[in-house]
A and B are shown apart, each in its own frame.
Chain A
């Protein structure tokens, strides 16, 4: 099924959780903030949050330079 990740289309299998998705991208959940359809998902529910078709996911990292 199709989803949008950081503004770009991606395809994933159904029943993927947000944590599975991060793991598949080798992203450590402690290093990012995940927003699903404009709502920030708390870390402890990443594993229970299942991604649905056409969901918009933003994986945000703090940028500290200046």
Chain B
């Protein structure tokens, strides 16, 4: 596709970058990215993907906007209380950038709907808030060979990694199975610094865009660990595991399962 005069102006600060240019911006305009969860992580992801001119953005979320969300889920405003998050997010995206085609999916991802949901997208962003969804997204993306960005944030801590199935380590190469539900703590129990979600959502959007323009080094085979209190970033080197239950040579996970239902919702 070609960029209109207005678009060339709108995206001029991207186009000026050698590694993006007109060609990169066209790739972004042709890209289809799915954001699962329009919460703390998803808010920042959606804002930056929309402003960047991603051609098609999918949003999957089953929730409505709650008062406790507003401290960090910055795509939702006070006026949006009780509105479905997908609708609230869609309205903001339309105002940031009317070029973006928004597909909304008002559903909680589960083993029955996820493969269909991710099928038409080039890159998936995990912005969910619970163990079971994160493992489900990993398994579905490995089965479908869809690249995705994983991130998790809680209290003052965040971590993330990018997975390119068959090429790089997946979540289960490191964490073979979800922690026990009893070990799961949600932000509704222990809290989360609002800006932490924004920091990681911004990094997830960056990974999605890098994948689309095919430049730089993705955060693959590396787990990025951030502590906001100390303001330290650390990287842990990871390897793809041949015995991985999801992406290994003899994967045990060839069909999807729903793990214990989320407790950490919102």
**Shortest Cβ distance from B262 into A: residue:** A64
The interface size of chain B toward A, counting residues with CB under 8 Å, comes to 41
A62's partner among B41, B178, B234, B239 (CB-CB below 8 A) is B178
Which chain A residues (13-39) contact chain B, with CB distance < 8 Å?
30-31, 33, 35, 38-39
B48 contacts the other chain (CB 8 A): no
Contact A64 B129 (CB under 8 A): yes
CB distance from A51 to the nearest CB of B (A): 17
A38→B221 CA distance, assembly (Å): 11
Cβ-defined partner of A63 (8 Å) among B37, B154, B238, B241: B154
Contact A7 B234 (CB under 8 A): yes
Residues 24-60 of A contacting B (Cβ, < 8 Å): 30-31, 33, 35, 38-40, 58, 60
Whether A63 contacts B175 in the complex (CB less than 8 A), given A38-B237, A40-B241, A58-B236, comes out as no
B202-224, CB under 8 A of A: which get 1 and which 0?
Answer: 00000000000000000000010
State A7–B127 Cα separation when bound (angstroms). Answer: 27
Q: Is B183 an interface residue (CB 8 A)?
A: yes
Q: A-contacting residues of B (Cβ < 8 Å)?
A: 37, 39-42, 126-131, 134, 151-154, 157-159, 173-175, 178-180, 183-187, 192, 197, 223, 232, 234, 236-239, 241, 264
